[in-house]
Structure 1
């Protein structure tokens, strides 16, 4: 396995031990065209995919013929605490690798929940904003067809303007393993036809600069703002909806203390009624090293995202 100091973790044994390619699927005429897919996993799930000493990721690469790369544990998708997996190769190889990865995560979920019936879970794909049109289609016709054909739920997030330079969106697939795999197959066939999609393959994990860039939104809305002592203290202020502040604080301040302890950052929340300019978002000031700020912000935004997702379900 490559050193954890590299941008991605993968196994050098894969190229030598790859098994013959699986039978071709009828996905499209572009089966042999080099492709890729990126998706989010929790840190715990990432550990399961890697396996002890890299054994699992080596096995999956050997069985599928695809290359599987994983971001480092502190390199997460902006606004989340999730790491990124990129699977690349021919489409059939990618599909085989995805089935192995998602199948393992589904199996572990079944063991935890003691369920006999396959659960409906979510997987979030990362797709360049410029390529989302090929999934949506004119008037939403394509995405409706994808949902009908796969029986999976498919939702595309809006582009998050809070992160300067972020040009990717999340495509959330909800369903059983079979439904998710069918949706992935269909989506890949659409992305394969998009000439712009392959461009991001050469920069699969370019969020570090994006995450630490300061975004100055008009009137301070939805942006990140450097503290006047930033050069000395590395401080940023983010906005959190007033209705979600309780989740960030936790009972008796438990959540915010945990976030501070885990990340090493100092966190201060503005008083009631003290909002970001032009919004009803409370000010949350995070101070510390860039890595500490990054981790604390990820943990805070994950709590907000989880609350928002529950409200939408």
Structure 2
């Protein structure tokens, strides 16, 4: 993340293109929708931008630290709104520098979110398109290697002067209009701020300040169940700890299919994520090889119902 320029710095301005033609005074103009992700509640600023740019600007509800800002309108209105955002960020950077010892001004940084199926066109053959964009606009452009959590979109980071960013966004719009997304896009949605959970001895804890506080939730129960593989009931305990489930139910198998383009985020680099899921759930997990002509991969999970439900939970969370 770029150095925080006040409340307004966009963590992940997001970007989805829905071209539709509208007639405007200057002949045929294209209407686009751009999704931006931003921090903070600058309602007044947005109101001013709506009035001055002529674009429709909506802000998502929710208690997430990041909010999705949707900008819709003719291309010229969108570029106006974008210019206002870029200059606003620059102003925030200058203001935040007035009380810091740093002397060199950091660039304005925006992160767009682009359907993975369009990233190839943005990069171009052997990186030719992205190189051309960098050279002709003077902005830095980078396409993330991994998809954003639970989506089929990638972050595209643009940084530079406001002028360079505006030129760069114009070129990205052209590319995205020329090569629309293929197949269905699972849009990135920001998650509500949550505290990390740590497992220890079958109990989950959340971190608050310097202390770990027991965290009673569904996942803990699943985790405890998955780890509770004793074939007998301890003396004096006539009912299982979790009603309706024996202490050690027989192993069973569950199958699910995952789209090919999401399998990477489940396996992780060199299998790190899938091994983590195996370890946490106590289940055996097999991922079938890609079948020719199929857009899905089969995953087989074997273990107790508790192992399986925890493995499923963790796979879905990925």
- TM value normalised by structure 2: 0.49
Aligned to 1:137: 124
Report whether the alignment pairs 1:34 with 2:18: no
**Considering only CA atoms, is the larger Rg found in Structure 1 or Structure 2?**
2
Cα distance change, pair 238–181 in 1 and its aligned pair in 2 (3 A)? farther
Report whether the alignment pairs 1:85 with 2:69: yes
Matches within 5 A, 1:42-121: 42=39, 44=40, 47-48=41-42, 50-51=43-44, 56-74=45-63, 81-114=65-98, 119-121=106-108
Alpha-carbon distance in 2 for matches of 1:185, 1:62: 21
Cα shift at 1:102: 2.4
Report whether the alignment pairs 1:189 with 2:174: yes
Cα distance change, pair 94–282 in 1 and its aligned pair in 2 (3 A)? farther
> Residues 104-149 of structure 1, C-alpha deviation per residue, up to 9 Å, x if partnerless?
2221221121299753132110111122122111121101111111
> Residues 226-248 of structure 1, C-alpha deviation per residue, up to 9 Å, x if partnerless?
xxxxxxxxxx9799xxxxxxxx9
- Check the 8 A contact 1:256/1:267 in 2, yes or no: no
Cα distance change, pair 58–277 in 1 and its aligned pair in 2 (3 A)? closer
Secondary structure of the structure 2 residue equivalent to 1:196: coil
Pick 1 or 2: higher relative contact order, CA cutoff 8 A, min separation 6.
1
- Structure 1: any 5+ residue segments left out of the alignment? 1-20, 76-80, 213-235, 240-247, 284-300, 302-313
- Check the 8 A contact 1:118/1:177 in 2, yes or no: no
Alpha-carbon distance in 1 for matches of 2:177, 2:61: 27
- Structure 2: any 5+ residue segments left out of the alignment? 1-23, 200-205, 224-271, 281-317
Aligned to 1:217: none
Alpha-carbon distance in 2 for matches of 1:151, 1:35: 24
Aligned to 2:189: 207
Alpha-carbon distance in 2 for matches of 1:104, 1:156: 24
Bigger fraction of residues in strand:
2
Alpha-carbon distance in 1 for matches of 2:46, 2:148: 34
Alpha-carbon distance in 2 for matches of 1:136, 1:183: 13
- Check the 8 A contact 2:148/2:155 in 1, yes or no: no
Alpha-carbon distance in 2 for matches of 1:95, 1:148: 20
Report whether the alignment pairs 1:178 with 2:153: no
